[in-house]
C-alpha cells in the first residue's frame, strides 16, 4: 500500500523556530539533527518515558502476574482490559499532547478494540481538554499580528476560552458596535461575534518530535526480516506514519484552514448551485473567515451557534428526538460525494432524491476546516457507480473494474488478468461477509466502518495507491455514522448515500462512466436488452427509500436524462419485435 503525499501548500514555509509548517519528513530529520533539535528530541523522549512508565506499572504488574500464574482465580482474561480501564489513560494521553490525544480519540470510538470501559474513558478526549493559559493565547495573538492590528481583538478577548481541544482552543469574542478604534489598522470591519482559535504554544514542537520518533520506529520495524529475507511486518508502516502526521500538520496550519473556509463557501455557500442540489430536507451553515486576524497560529471566523449532533450526556442513548442528528449526518454524507469545486457542479438530481421534511429542519453547521479534501471528478463518479454496483447489482466484478477510476490501482495493473481475478475474488469474499440481507430487505445491513476495514485489510496485498483524501473521507464518514447511530441505532451512511448515488447516475447521463453504469444496471446481461424486472426493482428501491408512491418515483425517473434514454431504448426494443422485453 502506498499513500500519496499531500500537495504542497501555497504558503510552504517554516516557523520562527525552524520547524516546517507543512509535513516534510526530510526537513524534520534535518531539524532534529541540529544541537537544539537533538536536545528537544531527548526532552520529548524523557517525557514519553516518564508518563508511560507511571501508566505502565499497574498494567505491567497485572500482565506479569498472569504470565507467571500468580494472579488470583478471580482475575480472568479481561484483567488487562480492567487494569487499563482503571488507569489514568485519558490523563496520560492528554498530558502527552495532540498525537496521543488523536490516537486516544480513535480508540474511544472503537470499543471492539479498546474494550467498553477504556473506550468510555477515552471518549472524554473528544469533548473535554484542559485549556492553556489565556496569557499565552494573548502573547500568540500579538506576536502573530503585531501590536496595532491585534489591539482590538485583545481588548475584547475573554478571560476564559469557550472550548479547548488537542491542538488549540477557541474564544467567543463579542466585539463592540460602532467604535472607530475597532477599525484602526484593519482593512474591513469584522463580524460582531467571532470564534477565535489559537494554536497551543507547544503543539507544533511536540507533534514534530513525535513524527520523527514514530517514523524511526516504523522504519526499524519494516527492516525486520524472517529467515529467507521476507519482511516480518508486511503493512507499510512508514507510509502510514507519513499519512497520519501529514494530516495532523495540516490541522495545525491555520492559514490553510482560512483558505479552506473561503473555498468551501465558494462551493456550498448561500445561493450556490451545489447547495441547492443537496436537497430541501436540511440546511448547511458555514462561517466566514476574517482574514485580517487569520495567520499561522490564529484564525478568526464568524461565530456559529448550535449544539453537537449528539450531546455528550446522550451519546450512549438516542431516540426519536434525535432524528435531526441522523438526518444531518445523511446530509453530510451527500456533501462528501458532491462537487469539490464551483466549476464541477453536476446536473441537478431529480426530486425523488430530496430528504424527507422534518420540522424543524436540521441545520448542519461546519465549524472545523482543518482537513478539507479535493476529490477528483472521476473518483466521485467512481464512488457513486461503485455504490450502485455493489448494493443494487451486487456485482463485485464491476466494482473491481472501477478501481482505476477510484485511483486505487493503475489501469495497467488492473488490466493484468491475474491481478484482476485476485481482486475480484477478494472483493467477493469481503462482500459475502459484509452484505447481510435480512428477509424481504432491498438493502443489506452494513456498517461503513466495517466496509472501510475490509478495504484496508486487502490493501497491502494489491499495493493500493491511497490518495490523501481517501483515508480522510473514510474516517470522516465512519465518524458521522457513529454519531448518527448513537441517535438512531438503525442508521446507515451507506443506505443514506445509496439513493443519492442512483439518482446521480440517472441525472449524470452526460458522463461516459455514468452512462455505462446505468446501462449495466438496466440491462439483462444474458440478453443484452433492457430488463423490465431490473427497472421495476430500481423504482421499488427508490420508492421505499424516498417514502414516495411508485408512480411518483416512476415519473421522477422519466424526467431525468438517463431515465428518458433507457425508456427510449425499451420502446425501440419493443417496436423492433425482438421478443418480449420482460426478462
pLDDT in tens, 376-421: 888 888 888 888 888 888 888 999 998 888 888 888 888 899 999 9
Residue of 358, 356, 351, 354 whose CA lies nearest to 552:
351
Distance CA 168, CA 542 (A): 44
Residue 369's pLDDT is: 87
Say which residue the cell 501555497 belongs to. Answer: 10
Phi, psi of 404 (to 5 degrees): -70, -50
C-alpha cell at 530: 433492457
Q: What is the mean pLDDT of residues 67-89?
A: 52
Worst-scoring range by mean pLDDT, 132-141, 152-161, 239-248, 428-437?
428-437
Contact predicate 480/332, CB 8 Å:
yes
Q: Is residue 402 packed enough to be buried (19+ CB in 10 Å), middle (13-18) or exposed (0-12)?
A: buried
Say which residue the cell 452526460 belongs to. Answer: 510
Residue 376's pLDDT is: 82
User: Strands 283-285, 298-302: parallel, antiparallel or unpaired by DSSP?
Assistant: unpaired
Contact predicate 159/135, CB 8 Å:
no
Q: What percent of the chain stands above pLDDT 90?
A: 20
The 10 Å Cβ neighbour count of residue 205 is 18
Q: What is the mean pLDDT of residues 314-334?
A: 48
- The model's confidence at residue 238, banded by pLDDT at 50, 70 and 90, is confident
End-to-end Cα separation, the chain, in angstroms: 43
If you write DSSP's letter for every residue of 302-370 in order, what string do you get? E------SS-GGGTT---GGGHHHHHHHHHHHHHHHS-SSGGGPPPPPPGGGPPPP-SSPPEEE----S
The torsion of the CA quartet 463, 465, 470, 474, rounded to 10 degrees, works out to: 0
> What residues contact residue 202 under an 8 Å CB cut-off, 6+ apart?
97
The torsion of the CA quartet 320, 325, 326, 329, rounded to 10 degrees, works out to: 180
C-alpha cell at 64: 506479569
Residue of 210, 517, 190 whose CA lies nearest to 382:
517
Worst-scoring range by mean pLDDT, 37-46, 91-100, 428-437?
428-437
Residue of 195, 177, 190, 186 whose CA lies nearest to 148:
186
Q: Is residue 48 packed enough to be buried (19+ CB in 10 Å), middle (13-18) or exposed (0-12)?
A: middle
User: Strands 298-302, 168-174: parallel, antiparallel or unpaired by DSSP?
Assistant: unpaired
Q: Which of 136-140, 454-458, 539-543 tops mean pLDDT?
A: 136-140
> What residues contact residue 348 under an 8 Å CB cut-off, 6+ apart?
273, 276, 277, 507
The 10 Å Cβ neighbour count of residue 414 is 18
Q: What pTM was computed for the model? A: 0.74
Q: What is the pLDDT of residues 510-545, one digit of tens each?
A: 788 989 999 998 998 888 888 888 888 888 888 877
Give per-residue burial for 523-562: e unless 16+ CB within 10 Å, then b. Answer: beeeeebbbbebbeebbebbbebbebeeeebbebbeebbb
- The model's confidence at residue 312, banded by pLDDT at 50, 70 and 90, is low
CA separation (Å) from 27 to 271, 300, 385?
Answer: 43, 29, 41
Three-class DSSP category at 223: coil
CA separation (Å) from 342 to 124, 219, 364?
Answer: 38, 41, 20
CA quadruple 311, 313, 316, 318: dihedral sign: negative
Contact predicate 413/419, CB 8 Å:
yes
Three-class DSSP category at 565: helix
- The model's confidence at residue 253, banded by pLDDT at 50, 70 and 90, is very high
Q: Is residue 342 packed enough to be buried (19+ CB in 10 Å), middle (13-18) or exposed (0-12)?
A: middle
Q: Which of 261-275, 439-453, 561-575 tops mean pLDDT?
A: 561-575
Q: Does position 157 have pLDDT exceeding 90, yes or no?
A: yes
- The model's confidence at residue 73, banded by pLDDT at 50, 70 and 90, is very low
- What is residue 198's DSSP assignment? E
Residue 259's pLDDT is: 92
Give the chain's mean pLDDT.
76
CA separation (Å) from 569 to 82, 407, 519, 573?
Answer: 64, 32, 10, 6
Distance CA 48, CA 42 (A): 10
Q: Does position 506 have pLDDT exceeding 80, yes or no?
A: yes
Q: Where are the alpha helices (DSSP H) in 194-251?
A: 203-222, 237-251
Tell whether omega for the bond before 360 is within 30 degrees of 0, i.e. cis. Answer: yes
Distance CA 252, CA 370 (A): 7
Q: What is the mean pLDDT of residues 312-334?
A: 49
Question: Side-chain half-sphere of 451: how many Cα atoms within 13 Å?
Answer: 21
Residue 190's pLDDT is: 64
Q: What is the mean pLDDT of residues 242-247?
A: 87
Contact predicate 415/401, CB 8 Å:
no
Distance CA 582, CA 332 (A): 39
CA separation (Å) from 121 to 91, 480, 483?
Answer: 10, 20, 17
User: Strands 193-199, 283-285: parallel, antiparallel or unpaired by DSSP?
Assistant: unpaired
The torsion of the CA quartet 186, 190, 192, 197, rounded to 10 degrees, works out to: -100
C-alpha cell at 226: 524472517
Residue of 252, 241, 164 whose CA lies nearest to 210:
241
Q: Does position 322 have pLDDT exceeding 80, yes or no?
A: no
Amino acid at each position: 500500500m502506498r499513500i500519496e503525499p499531500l500537495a504542497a501548500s501555497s504558503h510552504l514555509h517554516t516557523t520562527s523556530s525552524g520547524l516546517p509548517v507543512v509535513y516534510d519528513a526530510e526537513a524534520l530529520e534535518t531539524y532534529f539533527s541540529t544541537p537544539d533539535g537533538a536536545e528537544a528530541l531527548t526532552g520529548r523522549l524523557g517525557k514519553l518515558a516518564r508518563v508511560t512508565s507511571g501508566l505502565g506499572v499497574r498494567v505491567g504488574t497485572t500482565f506479569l502476574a498472569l504470565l507467571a500464574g500468580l494472579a488470583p482465580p478471580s482475575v480472568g482474561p479481561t484483567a488487562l482490559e480492567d487494569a487499563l480501564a482503571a488507569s489514568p489513560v485519558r490523563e496520560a494521553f492528554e498530558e502527552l499532547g495532540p498525537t496521543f490525544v488523536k490516537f486516544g480519540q480513535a480508540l474511544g470510538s472503537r470499543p471492539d478494540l479498546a474494550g467498553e470501559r477504556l473506550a468510555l474513558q477515552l471518549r472524554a478526549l473528544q469533548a473535554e481538554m484542559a485549556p492553556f493559559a489565556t496569557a499565552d493565547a494573548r502573547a500568540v495573538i500579538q506576536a502573530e499580528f503585531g501590536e496595532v492590528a491585534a489591539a482590538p481583538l485583545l481588548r475584547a478577548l475573554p478571560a476564559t476560552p469557550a472550548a479547548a481541544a488537542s491542538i488549540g482552543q477557541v474564544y467567543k469574542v463579542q466585539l463592540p458596535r460602532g467604535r472607530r478604534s475597532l477599525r484602526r489598522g484593519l482593512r474591513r470591519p469584522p463580524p460582531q461575534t467571532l470564534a477565535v482559535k489559537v494554536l497551543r504554544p507547544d503543539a507544533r514542537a511536540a507533534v514534530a518530535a513525535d513524527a520523527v520518533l514514530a517514523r524511526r520506529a516504523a522504519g526499524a520495524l519494516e527492516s525486520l526480516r524472517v529467515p529467507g529475507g521476507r519482511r516480518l511486518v508486511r503493512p507499510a508502516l512508514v507510509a502510514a506514519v507519513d499519512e497520519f502526521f501529514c494530516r495532523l500538520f495540516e490541522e495545525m496550519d491555520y492559514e490553510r484552514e482560512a483558505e479552506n473556509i473561503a473555498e468551501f463557501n465558494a462551493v456550498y455557500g448561500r445561493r450556490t448551485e451545489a447547495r441547492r442540489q443537496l436537497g430541501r430536507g436540511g440546511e448547511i451553515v458555514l462561517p466566514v473567515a476574517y482574514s485580517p486576524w487569520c495567520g499561522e497560529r490564529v484564525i478568526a471566523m464568524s461565530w456559529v451557534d448550535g449544539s453537537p449532533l449528539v450531546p455528550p450526556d446522550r451519546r450512549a442513548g438516542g431516540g426519536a428526538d434525535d432524528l435531526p442528528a441522523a438526518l444531518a449526518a445523511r446530509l453530510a454524507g451527500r456533501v462528501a460525494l458532491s462537487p469539490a469545486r464551483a466549476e464541477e457542479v453536476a446536473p441537478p438530481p431529480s426530486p425523488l432524491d430530496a430528504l424527507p421534511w422534518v420540522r424543524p429542519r436540521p441545520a448542519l453547521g461546519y465549524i472545523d476546516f482543518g482537513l478539507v479534501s479535493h476529490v477528483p471528478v472521476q473518483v466521485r463518479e467512481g464512488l457513486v457507480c461503485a455504490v450502485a454496483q455493489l448494493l443494487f447489482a451486487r456485482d463485485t466484478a464491476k466494482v473491481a473494474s472501477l478501481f482505476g477510476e477510484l485511483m486505487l490501482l493503475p489501469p495497467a495493473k488492473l488490466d493484468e488478468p491475474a491481478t484482476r481475478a485476485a481482486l475480484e475474488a477478494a472483493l467477493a469474499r469481503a462482500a459475502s461477509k459484509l452484505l447481510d440481507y435480512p428477509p424481504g430487505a432491498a438493502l443489506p445491513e452494513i456498517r461503513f466502518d466495517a466496509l472501510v476495514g475490509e478495504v484496508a485489510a486487502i490493501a497491502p496485498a494489491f499495493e493500493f495507491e491511497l490518495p490523501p483524501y481517501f483515508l480522510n473521507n473514510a474516517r470522516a464518514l465512519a465518524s458521522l455514522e457513529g454519531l448518527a447511530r448513537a441517535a438512531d441505532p438503525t442508521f446507515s451512511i451507506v443506505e443514506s448515500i445509496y439513493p443519492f448515488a442512483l439518482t446521480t447516475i440517472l441525472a449524470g447521463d452526460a458522463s461516459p462512466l455514468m452512462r455505462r453504469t446505468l446501462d449495466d444496471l438496466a440491462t439483462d446481461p444474458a440478453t443484452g436488452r433492457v430488463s423490465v424486472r431490473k427497472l421495476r426493482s430500481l423504482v421499488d428501491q427508490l420508492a421505499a427509500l424516498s417514502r414516495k408512491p411508485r408512480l411518483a418515483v416512476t415519473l421522477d425517473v422519466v424526467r431525468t436524462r438517463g431515465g428518458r434514454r433507457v425508456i427510449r431504448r425499451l420502446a425501440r426494443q419493443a417496436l423492433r419485435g425482438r421478443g418480449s422485453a420482460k426478462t
